[in-house]
Structure 1
Amino acid sequence: MIFRQLFEADTCTYTYLLGCERTHRAVLIDPVASELETYARLLAELGLTLVYTLETHVHADHITASGLLRERFGSKSVVHRDAGAMCADLLVTDGVPLQVGDLEFRVLHTPGHTGGCVSYAMVDRVFTGDALFIGGCGRTDFQQGDAGRLYDSIQRQLFNLPPDTLVYPGHDYAGNTVSTIGQERAKNPRLGNGKTREEFIGLMRALDLPYPKYIDQALPANQACGRAPVPRQG
């Protein structure tokens, strides 16, 4: 497997490139519009054909590159059916398998940060988007956020994966790159070490986070796969 972890510094967003060494078919998970040329160069250098862009959710902090990549490479955009991005080519649900050459992904519906959040699980790793971070989790105070639902998603869908499963999050603000399910289950300050649902809900309610910096631009753009909506005529 070809694997690259890419980082967009302004919003501390991780994008993941995964390619099949046999077929040279590839996916990008959570691509960022401002990084389009970086992706194009990397695909060319590695001799990869982009097949899918996999969105973990409709983002509020950056604009996705999925629409731009579709126009440039013919790739198909994948989001959950509840994400609010009907522009996508594939609207998936929990348990749906995705095959790209020898790469196999399984969609895990992990709502709570938003109603349409998913994680993408492979045999040895899981891409958790804004559901589970390294030592944290996504916020739950906007965009259909629900702390209790996020707790349930992480406990049932993610913490039930094998403990040595690698965790690759959608963001990190402290220089971390990878964790494991076992480490997060044991040590995550918000969710680990037996934290109860009630404790987690109370913790999330008390965060008092600032209004997302780019949400007013990012949310409508991402509901159109990163492309400006076409105005209605007449």
Structure 2
Amino acid sequence: MNLNPIQLFDTESSTFTYILTGPGSNQAVIIDPVDHHWERDLRHLERLGLQLVYVLETHAHADHVTSAGKLRELTGAQAAVPSGCGIAPAELQLNDGDVIRFGDGEEIKVLHTPGHTAGSMSYIWRGNAFTGDTLLIDGCGRTDFQSGSSDALYDSVSAKLFSLPQETRMWPGHDYKGQAVSTIGWEKRHNVRLANRSREDFCKLMSELNLPKPKLIDVAVPANQNLGLPHGA
């Protein structure tokens, strides 16, 4: 059974937020919420009669501030974050192979997929993969800052994500071209940066991107390491 998440979008940072819920329970999980959409996200939960139990982060983002701390305060949910991202206030520090359980037997499997950042995680639930900034539709996250590594990203995608069932739906952390969802099989065959590309070619390609520094990085990363709350809060 392939159950779709609720997918929400922030136009400013092109960030996707996801709400997951399964049959038989009103418990829900949210992935990568954005600070100025916390009211929108709460309205979705309220409208659907859902109780938020976990707020998940795929990594400490550099392009937007999370609302994880705010949502945790308002709902009583627990924050669950990659252990390698320095997000100390979170209740759960996740490691590769962990399983997050909620609702009526729902399970989210945790995959450590470093490369965009050293701590980056992907989450697998009901035939869906939430890949954060590790794997994007026809692309991937940058690897030139915040403990990034092209070598590590190549391994994360080729050895871990591309080995998932080919029909797995792939839900990215961002999209800049109006796309919403792909499949692992399509990305394995067609992804312009990674499909049928050697490690050497991939690392060379990534080293030559020369992307500008994210505008919010100096604000966003420290804020996100405190779940988006003011330091001292």
For normalisation by structure 1, the TM-score amounts to 0.96
1:170 aligns with 2:173: yes
2:135 and 2:207 map into 1 onto residues whose CA distance is: 17
SS in 2 for 1:86: coil
1:200 aligns with 2:206: no
Question: Could you tell me whether the CA contact under 8 Å between 1:2 and 1:20 is conserved in 2?
Answer: no
- Deviation (angstroms), 1:79: 0.8
SS in 1 for 2:100: strand
- Deviation (angstroms), 1:122: 1.8
1:3 and 1:191 map into 2 onto residues whose CA distance is: 26
1:197 and 1:84 map into 2 onto residues whose CA distance is: 28
2:184 and 2:227 map into 1 onto residues whose CA distance is: 30
1:164 partner amino acid: E
Question: Could you tell me whether the CA contact under 8 Å between 1:32 and 1:63 is conserved in 2?
Answer: yes
2:99 and 2:217 map into 1 onto residues whose CA distance is: 31
- Deviation (angstroms), 1:214: 0.8
SS in 2 for 1:190: coil
Instruction: Give a deviation string over 1:129-154, Cα, whole Å, max 9, x none.
Output: 00000000000000000000000011
**Structure 1: 5+ residue stretches without partners:** none
- Structure-1 residue corresponding to 2:92: 90
- Deviation (angstroms), 1:88: 0.8
- Structure-2 residue corresponding to 1:123: 126
SS in 2 for 1:82: helix
Q: Counterparts of 1:20-35 in structure 2 under 5 Å?
A: 20-35=22-37
1:230 aligns with 2:232: yes
Question: Could you tell me whether the CA contact under 8 Å between 1:2 and 1:21 is conserved in 2?
Answer: no
Among the aligned pairs, what percent are the same residue?
49
1:159 aligns with 2:165: no
CA RMSD of aligned residues (A): 1.1
- Deviation (angstroms), 1:20: 2.5
1:129 and 1:189 map into 2 onto residues whose CA distance is: 18
**Structure 2: 5+ residue stretches without partners:** none
Runs of 4+ residues over 6 Å off in structure 1: none
Count of aligned pairs = 230
1:57 aligns with 2:33: no
2:125 and 2:38 map into 1 onto residues whose CA distance is: 25
SS in 1 for 2:84: coil
SS in 1 for 2:163: coil
1:183 aligns with 2:186: yes
- Deviation (angstroms), 1:2: 7.0
